[in-house]
C-alpha cells in the first residue's frame, strides 16, 4: 500500500519562531537605540557607532540566549527520555498499560487499544512513549544550535535595516525617517511571518507594528529628555 506523505506548516514552528523573534528584535532594538540617540542631538557618526554596536551586541546576545534557553529544553527532554527508558526496562507491563490507556482516552476500544499498544511497543517502545506520553516528536524536539544561528542571523538582518537608514537619511529627518522606515519593515516582517506560518497577516502585522512603535516612541522621548538636560 503506497504511503501518502504530507507537508504541514507546523514543521516550520522551530525555525520560524526563532527567525521572527530575531528579525523583530533586530529592527525594534536597533531602531529604538538609533532614534533615542538621534533625538538627543547626536551626530551621524555617533548614530552609526551606536547602531553597529547595538547590532553586534544584540546578535551575540540573541545567539547566546537562544542557545541557553533551547538547551535547557533539550536537557529536560533528554532527562524525560532517560527516565522513560529506565521505566520501560524495569516495568514493561505497567508501561504497556499506560500506553494503552492513552489510546483509550482518545476513543479507542480497550481491547484494540491494548493490541495497538503491544504492536507499537514491539516496534519502538521508547518512540511510542516519547510521542504519546511526553509529546516529543521530530517536529517539536529542541534544536539549540539551529535556534542560536537562526536568531543571530535574523537579528543581524533586521538590525541592518535601521543602520542603513541612519547612514542615508538627512540628519534633520533621522528620527522621523527611522520611525517610519522601521515601522514599514516591521509590517513587512509581520506579513512574511504570517504567510510562512499559513496565518492571516492582519493580526501579526498590527501586533509587531504596535509594539515596535511603542518602543521607538518611548526611546525617542527619553532621548529628547536626556539631550535637553545635557
Note the pLDDT tens digit of each residue in 36-92.
Answer: 888 888 888 989 999 999 999 999 998 898 888 888 888 888 888 898 899 888 998
Q: What is the pLDDT of residue 230?
A: 44
Average pLDDT of the residues in 6-27: 65
Question: Are 76 and 162 spatial neighbours (Cβ–Cβ below 8 Å)?
Answer: no
pLDDT at residue number 229: 47
- The grid coordinates of residue 121 equal 511497543
Cell numbers placing 19? 527567525
Please report which confidence band the pLDDT of residue 227 belongs to, taking 50, 70 and 90 as the band edges: low
Residue 141: which of 47, 11, 43 has the closest Cα? 11
Looking at per-residue pLDDT, the higher value among 229 and 130 belongs to 130
| Nearest Cα residue to 70 out of 12, 13, 143, 11 | 143
- The overall average pLDDT reported for the chain is 82
* Res. 5: pLDDT tops 60: no
- Concatenating the DSSP letter of every residue in 190-205 gives HHHHHHHHT--SHHHH
Q: Is 93 left (phi over 0), alpha (psi -120 to 50) or beta?
A: alpha
pLDDT on residue 48:
92
What's the number of CA atoms in the CB half-sphere (13 Å) around residue 153?
10
The band of 145, judged by pLDDT with boundaries at 50, 70 and 90, is confident
213 has a pLDDT exceeding 90: no
Average pLDDT (122-127) is: 86
Percent of the chain with pLDDT over 90: 15
* 14, containing H or E segment: helix 13-39
φ and ψ at 80, to 5 degrees?
A: -65, -40
Q: What is the mean pLDDT of residues 6-33?
A: 70
The confidence score (pLDDT) of residue 197 equals 65
| pLDDT at res. 16 | 64
Amino acid at each position: 500500500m503506497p504511503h501518502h506523505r504530507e507537508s504541514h506548516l507546523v514543521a516550520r514552528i522551530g525555525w520560524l519562531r526563532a527567525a521572527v523573534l530575531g528579525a523583530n528584535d533586530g529592527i525594534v532594538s536597533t531602531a529604538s537605540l538609533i532614534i533615542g540617540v538621534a533625538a538627543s542631538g547626536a551626530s551621524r557618526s555617533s548614530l552609526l557607532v551606536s547602531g553597529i554596536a547595538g547590532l553586534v551586541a544584540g546578535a551575540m546576545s540573541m545567539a547566546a540566549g537562544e542557545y541557553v534557553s533551547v538547551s535547557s529544553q533539550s536537557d529536560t527532554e533528554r532527562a524525560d527520555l532517560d527516565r522513560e527508558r529506565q521505566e520501560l526496562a524495569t516495568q514493561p507491563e505497567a508501561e504497556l498499560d499506560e500506553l494503552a490507556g492513552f489510546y483509550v482516552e482518545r476513543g479507542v476500544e480497550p481491547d484494540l487499544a491494548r493490541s495497538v499498544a503491544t504492536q507499537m511497543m514491539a516496534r519502538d517502545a521508547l518512540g511510542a512513549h516519547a510521542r504519546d506520553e511526553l509529546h516529543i516528536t521530530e517536529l517539536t524536539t529542541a534544536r539549540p544550535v539551529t535556534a542560536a544561528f537562526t536568531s543571530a542571523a535574523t537579528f543581524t538582518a533586521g538590525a541592518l535595516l535601521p543602520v542603513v537608514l541612519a547612514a542615508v537619511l538627512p540628519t534633520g529627518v533621522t528620527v522621523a525617517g527611522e520611525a517610519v522606515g522601521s515601522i514599514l519593515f516591521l509590517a513587512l516582517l509581520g506579513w512574511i511571518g504570517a504567510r510562512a506560518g499559513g496565518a492571516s497577516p492582519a493580526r501579526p502585522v498590527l501586533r509587531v507594528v504596535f509594539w515596535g512603535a511603542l518602543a521607538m516612541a518611548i526611546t525617542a522621548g527619553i532621548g529628547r529628555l536626556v539631550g535637553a538636560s545635557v
